[in-house]
Every structure is written in structure tokens, then in C-alpha cells.
Amino acid sequence: MGRLSRRAFTLAAAATLSGFVTGGDAAAVPDRPRAAGEMRGMWLATVANRDWPSRTGLTAAQQRTELRAHLDTAVRRKLNAVMFQVRPTADAMWPSPYEPWSQYLTGVQGRNPGWDPLGTAVAEAHARGLELHAWFNPYRIANHTDPTRLVAGHPARKHPDWVVPYGGKLYYNPGLPQVRAFVQDAMLDALSRYEIDAVHWDDYFYPYPVAGQVFDDDKAYAAYGAGFPNRAAWRRDNINRLVRETAARIKAIRPTARFGVSPFGVWRNATTDPLGSATRAGVQTYDDLHADTRKWVREGWIDYIVPQLYWNIGLAAADYAKLVPWWAEVAEGSGVQLYVGEALYKAGDPAQSAAWQDPAELSRHLTFAGKYPQVGGHVFFSAKEVGADRIGAMARLVADHYQRSQRFAR
């Protein structure tokens, strides 16, 4: 079946099954901020010093030099946006009145690094013609389960009833209204201080399932779950509320700022839901992370979505070539911009399949996605690989698709 006729068929079926009408409420948002041009982004991860800083304890001057080098690399690769992780674990890469300085700067949570990384990143990015999207993780507190390792005065220590240990980590409980209000305050403080171009979230909402463990939110469910058919529906509503409320607050603080989310790439498998994708993924965001990512697009609650399509073309369980058209159909008529998250980190990794040993795999992704007008660009994970380019996959992609620089109109 041809692409256009298949899309028309699928949208009609989706409208019948879900009750939405293409061109309805989601498309009737006249003042949605939009990027003028193709998205060419990269994630710059700070958690566990993945990309930046290269290690803890560098001097302020060394940290600034490394940060500028990443931005210079983005320009050299003809990118135009950087998703900079500024709240990796309930902490801050700016002088926040809500949360402590990140331990990934100095090695000690709460220790002032002697400069302002987020403020510097915004200024340096804009000076290079790059957008700066501030990347936040809403609920993760720590990559361990010992609250006493958090700095004295940490909100999680002041409010132990907000905290749930799970899977070897600590999380804020999304089911508590006071938590939802606090994490919004903590994140949006950055938007009120800096001319960031977007508020950006990744794929972490309720935590990924861990076999044999239970996320203990019994008390919160007993207190706030009345009226919901089951706990899963209540949890989805908690995340929906976070998305809607954050979107409204962003527009109130700075109407020109965008709100984007980069979820795990499979909403639901078609074997679970006829509206789902032709995949057999072990994780489904709707069911396992309680994130109804499709709804956020169809309702127009966000400005852009970057599904992490971190699989090669032809993979049986989750085929890139099946997921791109699925997301294109979801975005059609919604007013929400669709970008594709790309797994540059897999290219040349000896632990990955043969497809990822081919430097042309990612270039083929962009060629394929280019057939779908709903796809407005791509974002690459992550900055370290954009620079190192282990097998030349990024260089190949740039040569094939980014012959000219593409800057967003500011």
C-alpha cells in the first residue's frame, strides 16, 4: 500500500478508535512556538559524567573549556541544537534555590563549582547559532538507595515521605501532588532565569520495570487514587497532569520557549493495542512507564516529541522502518513537531549487532525518514560520540545529509 493511502487509512482508523479527529483540538493551537528549519540536535549528558564534564573535580576553567569544545563540535558537524542535561539527579547545573549543585561537577553534591554552567551554556550556544534546550529528569533523585548520602538539606531528606527506593535508585513519588508541584518549581526556575530555547525531558517517568520489585506507592494510591479503575490508570493520570501543568507554566513564563519530550520509542505494541506499532518490544511506555506519549501528541500538550528510535532498519522486534511511519501518523495534524532520536552511540560498538558496524546505517535512517514530511529532523545520542565518531558514522551522515549548515531562526 502506498505511503499516503496507508497514512489516510490508519488515521481514519485511529480517529474511530480513539475519538479524536485529525485537524481537531490538537491542530487548533494557533500560537504554538515552532522552530524555523530542520532539527539537527545532540544530547549532552551529564549524569555519571557521561559526556561532560569528562570527570568530576576539574577546575572551572577546564569545565568551561570542555563545554565550549562540545558546542564547537556541534557546529563542526553542522548541528543546530544541544539538549544539555542540567538536572540529572534532583540537582542543578545552575545556582538553584530549590536543589543542590550537582555532584557531577565537583564530586561533592552541593559544592559550588565557582561558575554557572547553564548560564554559560546558553550564552555560548547562542553565540554559535545553536539552540540550547535545557534537559531535566523530573523524578530521579539518586543512582543509589541511601538518603544519607544526599547533601544535608536536600529536599528528599527533608521530605522522606516523598521518596521511593526502587531498582537500586531513589525516586520522587509521582503520585503526590506536592511532589508534582515541587519538581515543576525546581525545573522551571531555570526557565525563569535564562533564555533557554526549550524545556526538554527524556524517557524517565515512572521507572523502568525491575523484575521481582514493586514500586511502593500504596499510601499515595490510597490517598489519591479514588475514582480510577486501577493503579495503572491513576499513575498515567499523574504523569499526564505533570505534562499539562508544566506546559501551561512554560507558556506563562516565556511563551516563545518550547516544551519537548524524548520518550522510549514504543508507545504500545499492536498486539496489545490496535493503535500500537508493529513491534514486539519488551517495554511499552503506556503500560510500563505510565507515560501516554501518543496522547500528549494528539492532544497537543507538548511542542515537539523525539521518540528514541534506537533500533536498526530491519530489526524484527522494533524495526526503525516501521516505527518512523507509525510516529509520523501520530504526529500528522497534531501541530506537534516530530524529530527522531538516533542511537549514534551504537555505531561501531562491538557489543551491538552487525547492522551497527556499518558506518552507513545512520545515514540510511535519515534517507528513510526523509520520505515522511512529518519528520522535522533528528537528535543524536550523544555528544561524546558526535565528537569521537568511532567508525565514521557521523561523518558519513553529515556528508550525505548536512552539506549546508542549518540554523534555527531566532
Q: Is the pLDDT of residue 34 over 90?
A: no
For residues 52-78, average pLDDT: 98
What's the pLDDT score for residue 31? 58
Give the pLDDT confidence of 144-167 residue by residue, as tens digits. 999 999 999 999 999 999 999 999
Which domains are present in the chain? 3-138+175-401 (3.20.20.80)
What's the pLDDT score for residue 16? 29
- Spell 375-400 as b/e; 16+ CB within 10 A means b: bbbbbbbbbbbbbebbeebbebbbee
Q: Across-strand partners of 261?
A: 201, 305
For residues 126-133, average pLDDT: 98
Give the pLDDT confidence of 260-295 residue by residue, as tens digits. 999 999 999 999 999 999 999 999 999 999 999 999
Confidence of residue 35 (pLDDT cuts 50, 70, 90): low
The Cα–Cα gap between 376 and 297 comes to 15
What's the pLDDT score for residue 408? 64
What's the pLDDT score for residue 15? 31
Q: Is the pLDDT of residue 11 over 50?
A: no
Average pLDDT, the chain: 92
Confidence of residue 406 (pLDDT cuts 50, 70, 90): confident
For residues 346-358, average pLDDT: 98
The Cα–Cα gap between 285 and 288 comes to 5
The Cα–Cα gap between 216 and 204 comes to 17
Find the range with the poorest average confidence among 22-26, 229-233, 371-375.
22-26
What's the pLDDT score for residue 24? 33
What's the pLDDT score for residue 409? 56
What's the pLDDT score for residue 126? 98
In the chain, the percentage of residues whose pLDDT exceeds 90 is 89
Cell triple for 98:
530549590
Q: Which residue has the cell 495503572?
A: 232
Q: Which residue has the higher pLDDT, 298 or 25?
A: 298
What's the pLDDT score for residue 3? 29
pTM tops 0.85: yes
Pairing label, strands 258-261, 140-142: unpaired
For residues 316-327, average pLDDT: 98
Find the range with the poorest average confidence among 18-32, 197-211, 350-364.
18-32
What's the pLDDT score for residue 404? 82
What's the pLDDT score for residue 405? 77
Cell triple for 294:
501518543
Find the range with the poorest average confidence among 78-92, 174-188, 316-330, 393-407.
393-407
Which helix (H) or strand (E) is 164 found in, with range? strand 163-166
Q: Is the pLDDT of residue 323 over 80?
A: yes
Residues with Cβ within 8 Å of residue 330, at least 6 apart in sequence: 267, 294, 297, 298, 338
What's the pLDDT score for residue 36? 67
For residues 72-92, average pLDDT: 98
For residues 224-251, average pLDDT: 98
Q: Is the pLDDT of residue 216 over 60?
A: yes
Cell triple for 92:
542543578
Q: Is the pLDDT of residue 246 over 70?
A: yes
Confidence of residue 186 (pLDDT cuts 50, 70, 90): very high
DSSP 288: I
